[in-house]
Amino acid sequence: MKNTKTNKLNIALWLSLVLVLNLGCERELSDDATVATFAQTGEIFTDNFVAMGSNFYFPFADSKLDAFSVDTREGFESNASYRVDVPNDTDPTGNYAGAILRVDGAGRDLSGFNVLTFYAKASRGVSVDAIGFGQDFFENKHQVTANNVSVGTNWQKYYIPIPDPSLLVNERGVFWYAAGTQATGGSGYVLWFDEIKFEKLGTIGQPRPGIANGDDITIDSFIGVTAAVTGLIHTVSLPTGIDGTVAPAISYFQFSSSNPSVATVDNTGIISVLAAGTAKITATLGGVQANGSVTINSLGDFVLAPTPSRDPSNVISIFSDHYNNRPVDFFNGFWQPFQTTESADFVVNGDNILNYTNFNFVGNRFGNPPVNATNFSNLHLNMYIPGQVPANLDFLISIVNFGPDGVEGGGDDTRQQVFFNASDFVANTWATLEIPITLPQRSNIGLIIYENVNASTLRNFYLDNIYFYIE
Amino acid sequence: MKRSIMICLVFFSLTAFLSCDLDETQTVTTFNNLVAEDNFDVDGAPDPNIWSFEIGDGTAQGIPGWGNNELQFYTDRTENVKVENGFLLITAKQELFNGAGYTSARLITKGKLETQYGRVEARMRLPFGQGMWPAFWMLGDDNNGTEIWPNIGEIDIMENRGQEPTKIIGSVHGPGYSGGNAVSKEYNLENDRFDTNFHVFGIEWGPNYINYYVDDVLYNQITPKDVPGEWVFDRPFYIIINLAVGGSFVGSPNNQTVFPQTMLVDYVRIYN
């Protein structure tokens, strides 16, 4: 019945297009002409696929491609459901299940709905990495994701709110999910979905969009810096009275700057700092003021670190815009639970700067493979402390050699520790730290650790031009 | 042939359904003679000819936590209660104030606007979130303090738990059926919420009955045979509107609760 309806709509659509074309040959569109609209079907899978066409299942390329099937025994108040067999993490054909469902053919007009709903259950209690809609493998322009969705062993209804339905007038990416086994110790499980559909529910309320995770943050910055607005969230009160939060794509937000002569923000959330001064970046979503803001405190011109002049053939670079950098595992691998350090890396006039905030300790790891520094005498770093240099600064840099086994840990790692204090720095100025390497074994250096010791108040600093060199 | 039979069947069942529906159209209200109202048309403090404030955390009244372990301190400050743009606004704030963690307001019509029997209704939009406890209710006159609750009677026209945005509760309390043993019924909205749209909460009250309604739905009738004790609702009652925070009925706010929270009242009306 519903399929028939859709076909009729499609025919109407084609007719209207033909009509428009014919009219176009003759004269301007009359005021009476209405814009061609797309099918307003909300159902995606209700015991079977609804108006999805024939070629709609697109698994992620690195996932287990055949993890999906239609289960003809299990179902929510039925005997059919969308079944996903999440593989064990050792499965050679793919260690997770993930796919998008994309309407085959013209998109749908979802502007009359306000929420994607579905029933789900799992063969064991799991936290599903991501479930959402709007991912179409094109622009993913209207992607919305619920992360870490807790799914139990009995059917339950789930709600993924549409942040601004008025944008979804021609949408093909109607459902997507990614489910792995990080939360289950590598063991596979079964996920069932049913009654997947868009609905218009009056029981969804209290929309609360947010940027910067809803916090008011201030960033010291400089002329020429570009940075992205992050922490995009959208929270609504669900029919249960419990809040549900999703991560919407940037396209749902409209940004503005309180002082465009200091900093501008474009519609993709990129902030560009133009002058010294202060500018507050705020956002709205569907006319609702978003919680949170990013205040740019521009200190004016930024003086880049001294340009390295050493011959590239004598350098192994970890992080610099002046050399070819070797592969790095991470610049801030968050070491739970004790690390507090976050990253606010930025680009100023094309030069990348590492910025650590809320600092206690952090590491740069480059262990694949480690650096053979046998013939390299020194480690070079540029470090910049904005604001004030704490009088009691006690800053420890550790260079870690992974030992004969070539991997971190294993009991054979050795480290060289070098301490710096307040006399080594001037506030708001690049310091050049030259560290002669004294490690007897230095053929497998894979990690540099930065630590704030003895409780100094250092929380924020920049790094650039991290490289080993031959004297 | 078969098809036409089908159509006939469909037609007849449709007719039957419609007529059934018509039969169930409710007569929700019967008292239509308006005798008192406050439409909150004058900005500023609520009309002192109708409303008084109850201030504090209940200690002064001899019932700390207002008898329910509530967490708020009631004030008459404009940040907690004011009339603006045609609405009475009662706002619960999270702040340290006189030893409490929250402030809010509680308005009563005692000695100013009381009624025995009639239709009492208010159009309101409720706050939301765990720990919000808005209420529109009535207490029986205590005869200059000579009688005490629950003997004076309590009619709860609307109570809501902020964490249940689609549900309200209507109750009566009296001797032998008070507190957790009140005679109550819940009403659930279909495809709508009490915190996103305005709704009318009312009772029609006469000798030997109290009818409860929300908007155009009559959802309960309580009569003397429904209460396990004396029927104490044949005396003048006054109106109370308040927004409590926390307490045994609703539980404490949690980290998802958004403050401040404002309850809006469009009007309060009494008919007989």
Q: Measured between CB atoms, does A199 come within 8 Å of chain B?
A: no
- Enumerate the residues of chain A whose CB falls inside 8 A of the CB of residue B194: none
Structure confidence at residue A344 (pLDDT): 87
- The C-alpha of B102 sits at a distance from chain A's nearest C-alpha, in angstroms, of 21
- Considering only the beta carbons, identify the residue of B165, B196, B258 that sits closest to A241: B165
Structure confidence at residue B145 (pLDDT): 87
- Considering only the beta carbons, identify the residue of A202, A206, A239 that sits closest to B128: A206
- Enumerate the residues of chain A whose CB falls inside 8 A of the CB of residue B163: 241-242
Tens of pLDDT, residue by residue over A200-246, are 999 999 999 999 999 999 988 999 999 899 999 999 999 999 999 99
Residue A274, pLDDT above cutoff 50 = yes
Structure confidence at residue A335 (pLDDT): 85
Mean pLDDT of A80-107: 96
Calculate the CA dihedral of residues A210, A211, A213, A216 and round it to 10 degrees.
-100
- The C-alpha of B57 sits at a distance from chain A's nearest C-alpha, in angstroms, of 27
Other C-beta atoms closer than 10 Å to the C-beta of A95 total 19
Rounded to whole angstroms, how far apart are CA atoms A64 and A93?
6
Q: How would residue A337 be classed by pLDDT, with cut points 50, 70 and 90?
A: confident
- Enumerate the residues of chain B whose CB falls inside 8 A of the CB of residue A206: 128, 195-196, 258
Structure confidence at residue B271 (pLDDT): 98
- Enumerate the residues of chain B whose CB falls inside 8 A of the CB of residue A208: 258
- Enumerate the residues of chain A whose CB falls inside 8 A of the CB of residue B162: 241
Return the amino acid letter for B217.
V
Structure confidence at residue A16 (pLDDT): 43
Specify whether the CB–CB gap between A278 and A297 falls below 8 A: yes
Rounded to whole angstroms, how far apart are CA atoms A30 and B198?
41
Which positions of B are annotated as active-site residues?
154, 159
At residue B10, φ and ψ (nearest 5 deg) are -60, -45
- Enumerate the residues of chain B whose CB falls inside 8 A of the CB of residue A203: 165-166, 189, 191-193
How many Cβ pairs within 8 Å bridge chains A and B? 41
Residue B13: which residues within 8 A CB-CB, separation 6 or more?
none
Check A242 against B258: CB less than 8 A apart: no
Q: Measured between CB atoms, does B192 come within 8 Å of chain A?
A: yes
Tens of pLDDT, residue by residue over B168-198, are 999 999 999 999 999 999 999 999 999 999 9
Check B193 against A201: CB less than 8 A apart: no
Structure confidence at residue B114 (pLDDT): 97
Structure confidence at residue A334 (pLDDT): 80
- The C-alpha of B6 sits at a distance from chain A's nearest C-alpha, in angstroms, of 17
Residue A145, pLDDT above cutoff 90 = yes
Check A202 against B256: CB less than 8 A apart: no
Tens of pLDDT, residue by residue over A377-408, are 999 999 999 989 999 999 999 999 999 999 99
ipTM value for the complex: 0.83
Check B192 against A206: CB less than 8 A apart: no
Q: Measured between CB atoms, does B160 come within 8 Å of chain A?
A: no
Residue indicated by tokens 């940027």: A211
Q: How would residue A23 be classed by pLDDT, with cut points 50, 70 and 90?
A: very low
Structure confidence at residue A24 (pLDDT): 40
Structure confidence at residue A387 (pLDDT): 87
Structure confidence at residue B15 (pLDDT): 40
Q: How would residue A31 be classed by pLDDT, with cut points 50, 70 and 90?
A: low
- Considering only the beta carbons, identify the residue of A205, A208, A242 that sits closest to B193: A205
At residue A178, φ and ψ (nearest 5 deg) are -140, 125
Structure confidence at residue A27 (pLDDT): 53
Residue A181: which residues within 8 A CB-CB, separation 6 or more?
A86, A87, A88, A89, A95, A96, A187, A188, A189
Structure confidence at residue A26 (pLDDT): 46
- Considering only the beta carbons, identify the residue of B164, B196, B197 that sits closest to A241: B164
Helix (H, G, I), strand (E, B) or coil at A130: strand
Q: What percent of chain A clears pLDDT 70, i.e. is strictly above it?
A: 92
- Considering only the beta carbons, identify the residue of B192, B195, B256 that sits closest to A243: B256
- Enumerate the residues of chain A whose CB falls inside 8 A of the CB of residue B191: 201-203
Write the CA distances from A407 to A140, A336, A376, A398, A414, integer angstroms. 38, 20, 20, 16, 12
Site from B126, B186, B196 to mutate, A interface, most A CB atoms within 10 angstroms:
B196
Q: Measured between CB atoms, does A218 come within 8 Å of chain B?
A: no
Q: Which long-range contacts (CB under 8 A, 24 or more apart) does B81-84 make?
A: B81/B45, B81/B46, B81/B53, B81/B105, B81/B107, B82/B43, B82/B44, B82/B45, B82/B46, B83/B40, B83/B41, B83/B42, B83/B43, B83/B44, B83/B45, B83/B46, B83/B47, B84/B43
CATH of domain A43-199: 2.60.120.430
The enclosing H or E element of B6 equals: helix B2-23
Check B128 against A241: CB less than 8 A apart: yes
- Considering only the beta carbons, identify the residue of B163, B193, B258 that sits closest to A203: B193
- Enumerate the residues of chain A whose CB falls inside 8 A of the CB of residue B192: 202-203
Q: Measured between CB atoms, does B254 come within 8 Å of chain A?
A: no
- Considering only the beta carbons, identify the residue of B163, B191, B196 that sits closest to A241: B163
Residue indicated by tokens 């859709």: A6
Tens of pLDDT, residue by residue over B97-122, are 999 999 999 999 999 999 999 999 99
Check B195 against A205: CB less than 8 A apart: yes
Same fold, A43-199 and A312-469: yes
Residue B3, pLDDT above cutoff 60 = no
CATH of domain A312-469: 2.60.120.430
Return the amino acid letter for A268.
T
Site from B125, B130, B166 to mutate, A interface, most A CB atoms within 10 angstroms:
B166
CATH of domain A207-298: 2.60.40.1080
| Interfacial B residues in 90-149 facing A (CB < 8 Å) | 128-130
Residue B22, pLDDT above cutoff 60 = no
Rounded to whole angstroms, how far apart are CA atoms A399 and A379?
9
Check B256 against A203: CB less than 8 A apart: no
Residue A297, pLDDT above cutoff 80 = yes
Residue A1, pLDDT above cutoff 50 = no
Check A241 against B162: CB less than 8 A apart: yes
Q: Nearest chain A residue to B163 by CA: give it.
A: A241
Mean pLDDT of A175-196: 96
Write the CA distances from B16 to A180, B4, B23, B118, integer angstroms. 53, 18, 10, 36
- Enumerate the residues of chain A whose CB falls inside 8 A of the CB of residue B189: 202-203
- Enumerate the residues of chain A whose CB falls inside 8 A of the CB of residue B197: 202
Domain boundaries, chain A: 43-199, 207-298, 312-469
Q: Measured between CB atoms, does A245 come within 8 Å of chain B?
A: no
Structure confidence at residue B19 (pLDDT): 42
Structure confidence at residue A3 (pLDDT): 40
Rounded to whole angstroms, how far apart are CA atoms A1 and A11?
16
Rounded to whole angstroms, how far apart are CA atoms B209 and B223?
4
- The C-alpha of B118 sits at a distance from chain A's nearest C-alpha, in angstroms, of 32
The enclosing H or E element of B115 equals: strand B114-115
Check A203 against B165: CB less than 8 A apart: yes
At residue A263, φ and ψ (nearest 5 deg) are -150, 135
